[in-house]
Every structure is written in structure tokens, then in C-alpha cells.
Amino acid sequence: MMHFLRIKGGAKLSGEVGISGAKNAALPLMALTLISKNRVTIRNIPNVADIKTMAQLLRNLGASCEFANENSLTIDASGVNSTTATYDIVRKMRASILVLGPLLARFGRCEVSLPGGCAIGQRPIDLHLSALEKMGANIEIKQGYVVATAEGGLKGANIVFDKVTVTGSENIVTAAALAHGTTRLLNVALEPEVVQVCEILAAAGVKIEGIGTSELTIEGSGGKLLKISDFEVIPDRIEAATYLCAGAITNSKISVTGANAKHLTAVLAKFEEMGFGIRISGDKITILPAEKIRPCEIVTTEYPGFPTDAQAQFTALSLVANGVSTIDERLFENRFMHVSELARMGADIRLNGHIASVQGGGELNAADVMATDLRASSALVLAALVAKGVSRVHRIYHLDRGYENLEIKLKALGADVERLEE
Ligand code: EPZ
């Protein structure tokens, strides 16, 4: 059944909203259980569609995945008896590529459907593949599948990533944990989600030097499966940024709880530059209204820089600033799909290649708009919160991939929003 959100703009927001576990941390951590010899319980799992997809992929491989409740998942991968991640799953979720490293390291072979392009750009996986080749894998593309073999297992290697890649780093770090010998990685992604993968491996006894830096040295277990302890997923920094944007765009005071402000330094600094107040107290971040909302200059880049996953939300937020904001998207070539939908609400945004100039301060009017990818969709929801009248955001299955209980959380903050069937 297709759902849409009906949002009546104009409500002031108030109160607190709890932040869920990070989807982009939970996904690699679920894949990582493929190299565990024991059952692992993961807490603070977000209840979103991508997690269900990853659970289905692990089940297809022969693992058992049981949800004790919506936010606690126990995985037992000891019985995995297939090494194929099929097209029907991978085409639903590119992050399926995260099983490549662990499967190859454990079984010495695997077949993973090659993810194609997606709404936000071309998104190749060449860096994942060339790193595995350096570790001794033989890789071929056959009938749309990456067919990887490494007889006798993967070997430690010296690898320099040509570009910073988040899932690429996670894939190779996990593979290296089971390889024979020592792997040295340079230009590793610094995202907190990558750091958590390293920390869980270290807690399982893997010797990793340099956690939290771009240079890692990992001593592999020589093919021996690990004993991974139960753990809790870190908070979703992008979900937190999105709700703080909801506070900002309506110029309301709201708080997010269960968040980690340290992971949001670049985002919080932008709110302050725009004139909003930010208060941090433990795991609670409060945003305070601005007297005058100033335009912003944003360049998306790797962590700890401003995250591309919050770009669309800040594009929407810029619509209420007094003046022209400039938003430069450096990571993905096609991540402005929200711009033409926002235009349907009267937004004045000029696109010039990867740079958007957003004229703030104009009137936004409600409209029917279509979600195109996860973060673009959240920008439409944000704009609808301030547009005059009743908007309908269609195709919200994109939102359901990454936002847990979005309309329930927004309603709790006082937004006038309903989920309805098309
Ligand atoms: C992760 O994708 C996230 N997904 C994305 O979040 C996020 O936008 C992105 O990192 C950047 O922060 C998950 O964690 C599951 P990359 P990933 O490899 O790892 C190029 C969301 O909305 N590249 O760091 O796929 C690539 O094209 C999603 O939650 C290569 O050229 O991104 C891009 O320009 C969307 N070759 C840049 O590197 C490769 O082999 C960074 O991509 C790999 C990447």
C-alpha cells in the first residue's frame, strides 16, 4: 500500500523528540555479524525499511535474524550456507554491498549483484573492489554480479583509498579483521559509523591501531571467526540534524534527545551561523529561534565536514533565510532532486552544476510533491511545515527507508501531519 503525508504548514513546534539508532551504522554492523561465531544482539536498531532489507539479505544467506522488539535484533550467522547477495535485494538497497567484504573474508568466495546507479548519482564501487584485489581477491563481473574469489582467504595488504569512501572503508576494515596478516589502510573515512565498526571489532579482540584516524593498522585473525559481544548502535546524526532543521525552519524551540552533539559539530555550527541558538546538555540538543535568520554557505564534504546527507534539509531551511544561500554539493553529482519539487512550492533556487543558490524569504505555498530519495524527501517535509496550506508528500517509502516513525515524531513536536493511503 502506497502512503503519502498530508502536512498543513504554519504550526509552531515545541517539545522534545528522541533520536533513533543510526541506520548507516546499523547496516555495516549487521553485515559484520557475518564474521561472528556467536549470536549477537544489537540494541538501538532503528525500525526502518533498510534494516528490514538487510535482515532479509542475511536470512537469504542462511543467518537467523530475530527482532525481540522493534529496536533489538539478534543475529546468528553461524549457519550461513550461501554466499550470494541477489539482484532483487541489492537493487532495493545499495548498502547490500556491505556483505561483500565479510562474505569473501569468511568463505573465500562470494557473488554480490553489482549495484547500479541510483537517484543521487552514479556511485561506483571500484574502491571496494580494488582494495579487495590488493588483499589477494580475484574479481570478475559476470552477468551483473561481482564474483569474488580468494582461495585460502584474504591476505593483509597496504591500501590507500584514492577517495574517501564510507561503506568502502567499512567493507575493507571488516574484511581485514578476518584476513591473514596485517592490513594498513590510508585515507580511511572518519565518519562516526566507520569508527563504530572499528570499535566493535576491537571489542571482539581484533588489534586495530589508529581508530578514529584516517590511518588504520589491522591485524587479521587468520580466518578465525570472531566472538562479537552484544552492543548498541550510535545515535543517528542525520535524523537529529533533520529534526533540528524542523525546529529551525519553523523558528521554534525544540530539543532532540539521545543524540551525540560531538557527531554534529559542523551541522550545529551552521545553525549558529544562521542565527539560531544551540544548547547542549548531555545527550540533549536544543535549538532556539533566531531573531533574524541569516543565509548560509555550505560545502558538503567528508566527516568532520558538513554531511551530504543533511544538504537537502539545509536547502529547505535556506528558503526561510533573509538573503541568498549557496549550497555546494561535492560528493554526489545528482543530489538536487528536491530542487525541482521545492520549486512546485514556490521556492526560488538556481542550480548551476553542483551549486545551488537559494533565494530565501519568499512565500512558500502548499503543493503535491514527490519524494525521490531519502534525504530529498525530508527536505520536502520540512518545506511543507512552513508552506501556506496543505501539502501532500507522495512516495514516502523513501522516507520509511531511513526515518523511524517520522510522522509520529513530528506530531509529538506539534506539527499538523498525517500518514494516509494513496
Ligand atoms: C554512505 O554511502 C552513506 N550510506 C550515504 O548515505 C552517504 O550519503 C555517503 O556515505 C556519504 O556520506 C551508508 O552509509 C549506507 P561513499 P557510500 O562511498 O558509502 C565515490 C543516506 O541517505 N566512490 O562514501 O556509498 C562516490 O561516488 C545515504 O543515508 C567512488 O568513486 O558513499 C561518492 O562520490 C545516501 N568509488 C564518494 O566516493 C567507490 O568505490 C563518497 O561515497 C566508492 C565511492
Residue 252: is it exposed, middle or buried by C-beta count within 10 angstroms (0-12/13-18/19+)?
buried
- Axis crossing angle, helix 166-178 with helix 23-32, rounded to the nearest 10: 20
308 alpha carbon – ligand 1 mean position (Å): 9
Angle between helix 100-107 and 126-134 (nearest 10): 20
For residues 3-26, b (16+ Cβ closer than 10 Å) or e, as one string? bbbbbbbebebeeebbbbbbbbbb
Q: Is the CB of 124 under 6 A from ligand 1?
A: yes
Which residue do the cell numbers 519568499 mark? 362
363 CA to middle of ligand 1, Å? Answer: 34
Residue to substitute in 29, 92, 167 for testing ligand 1 pocket (most ligand atoms within 8 angstroms of CB): 167
- Residue closest via CA to ligand 1's atom 33 equals 331
User: Which three three-digit cell numbers place residue 252?
Assistant: 521554534
Concerning whether 118 is annotated as a catalytic residue, the answer is yes
The SS3 assignment for 42 reads strand
Closest by alpha carbon to 247, among 382, 381, 358?
382
State the distance from the centre of ligand 1 to the C-alpha of 165, rounded, in angstroms.
6
Nearest to 248 by CA among 325, 188, 158, 196: 325
Per-residue pLDDT in tens (0 to 9) along the chain, 422 residues: 899 999 999 999 999 999 999 999 999 999 999 999 999 999 999 999 999 999 999 999 999 999 999 999 999 999 999 999 999 999 999 999 999 999 999 999 999 999 876 787 788 999 999 999 999 999 999 999 999 999 999 999 999 999 999 999 999 999 999 999 999 999 999 999 999 999 999 999 999 999 999 999 999 999 999 999 999 999 999 999 999 999 999 999 999 999 999 999 999 999 999 999 999 999 999 999 999 999 999 999 999 999 999 999 999 999 999 999 999 999 998 899 999 999 999 999 999 999 999 999 999 999 999 999 999 999 999 999 999 999 999 999 999 999 999 999 999 999 999 999 99
Do residues 294 and 276 lie in contact, with contact meaning Cβ atoms separated by under 8 Å?
A: no
Identified catalytic residue from 65, 118, 198, 296:
118
- Closest C-alpha residue for ligand 1 atom 1: 166
